[in-house]
Amino acid sequence: MHADQAEFQDFLSLSSVVTGFTAFQLQGTGQAESYFSTLIDILGEATVAALLQVFRRVQRETGEDAAALDRLLRAAIFSDEKLGPIARNLIKLWYVGTWYPLPAAWREAFGELEKDTTFVVSPAAYTEGLLWPAIGANPAGAKGPGYGTWSAPPRIPEV
């Protein structure tokens, strides 16, 4: 488990911004701590700390301005050769519970990481993926919505 509660809160805030789900919803999946430690496990504490540090700066500089946040996140994180692929992987981790290997160019530039392979974090990481609620569906194979529900129009949450 992580030592620094503040850092975990920053992880949650970053996760919320990149996934489009509230921190409350993310906590509700029960996966936040597991994903945070997975990230540290794969990338090391220093890299995760660097990512969160940049995110804190972006947040400080943009305040409540959503358009500015979007612009600055793209400038400082998504288009950063080291942090961009990590942020994109973090989105996929939240959406389908799966870590996908970082791009070859990343590994060439920043080094191979032993645990950077394709894996599902846990059985629950799959069923708690954000992809399913995002499209108004259940994860295939779990949380069946009940007999005949599929006959009615889908209920997809507004964003």
Q: Which residues bind other proteins (CB under 8 A)?
A: 17-20, 70, 73-74, 78, 87-88, 91-92, 95-96, 98, 100, 118-120, 122-124, 126-127, 131-132, 134-138, 140-154, 156, 159
List residues bridging with 99 in a β-sheet: 119
Dist CA 18 CA 47 (whole Å) = 18
- Bridge partners (DSSP) of residue 10 are none
Which lies closer to other proteins via its Cβ, residue 5 or residue 118?
A: 118
Nearer to other proteins, 47 or 98 (CB): 98
Name which of 32 and 134 has its Cβ closer to other proteins.
134
User: Which among 51, 54, 70 has a CA at the least distance from the CA of 62?
Assistant: 70
- Cβ 29 to other proteins, closest distance in Å? 14
Q: What is the CA radius of gyration of the chain?
A: 17
Among residues 40 and 137, whose Cβ is nearest to other proteins? Answer: 137
CA-closest candidate to residue 116, choices 29, 47, 25: 47
Smallest separation, CB 78 to other proteins (Å)? 7
